[in-house]
Homo-oligomer: A and B are copies of this chain.
Amino acid sequence: MHLTKSDIENLERKKRLNIINSVSGIKPANLIGTKSKEGQSNVAIFSSVIHLGSDPALLGFITRPTGEVPRHTYENIKETGFYSINHVPTTIADKAHFTSAKVDRQVSEFERCGLTEEYLNDFHAPFVQESSLKIGLSLKEELPIKINGTIMIIGQIEELIIPDEAVDDKGYIDLSLYNTAGISGLNTYYSLHPVASFPYARPNKIPDFGT
Cβ–Cβ contact A2 & B160, under 8 A: yes
Number of interface residues of A (CB under 8 A): 119
Using CB atoms, name the residue of chain B closest to A94: B198
Please choose the segment from A32-40, A66-74, A145-153 that sits at the chain B interface, where 4 or more of its residues have CB less than 8 A away: A145-153
Using CB atoms, name the residue of chain B closest to A92: B209
Stoichiometry, copies per complex: 2
| B-contact 0/1 string along A118-134, CB 8 Å cutoff | 00110000000000010
| B-contact 0/1 string along A182-211, CB 8 Å cutoff | 101111111111111111111101110111
Using CB atoms, name the residue of chain B closest to A104: B203
Given contacts A8-B57, A28-B24, contact A189 B197 (CB under 8 A): yes
Residue pairs across A and B with Cβ atoms less than 8 A apart, 15 shown, are A2-B161, A14-B170, A19-B173, A20-B55, A23-B135, A24-B59, A25-B87, A53-B148, A56-B148, A98-B209, A99-B201, A101-B206, A112-B211, A145-B154, A152-B152
